[in-house]
Amino acid sequence: MNRDVENRDSAKKNVVLVDSGGTNIGSVRYALERLGVIAELSADAARIRAATHVILPGVGAARPGMQQLHKLDLIDTLRALKQPVLGVCLGMQLLFESSEESDTECLGLLPGRVRHFDRSASLRVPHMGWNRLQARGENPLLFGLDKNDYAYFVHSYAAPIGDYTLASCDYAGEFSAIVQKNNFYGMQFHPERSSRVGALLLQNFLR
Number of domains in the chain: 1
Q: What is the CATH number of the domain that holds 145?
A: 3.40.50.880
169 is catalytic: no
What SS3 state is found at 20? coil
Q: How far apart are CA 20 and CA 105, in angstroms?
A: 17
Question: Domain range for residue 9?
Answer: 3-206
What stretch of H or E contains 149? none
Of 89, 101, 106, 155, the catalytic one is: 89
pLDDT of 5: 47
Q: Could you tell me where the beta strands, DSSP code E, fall in 39-188?
A: 40-42, 53-56, 85-88, 96-99, 104-105, 110-116, 127-132, 134-135, 150-155, 157-158, 165-170, 174-181, 184-187
190 is catalytic: yes
Encode pLDDT of 30-86 as tens digits: 999 999 999 999 999 999 999 999 999 988 899 999 999 999 999 999 999 999 999
Encode pLDDT of 156-199 as tens digits: 999 999 999 999 999 989 999 999 999 999 999 999 999 999 99
Q: How far apart are CA 84 and CA 108, in angstroms?
A: 16
Encode pLDDT of 101-138 as tens digits: 999 999 999 999 999 998 887 889 999 999 999 999 99
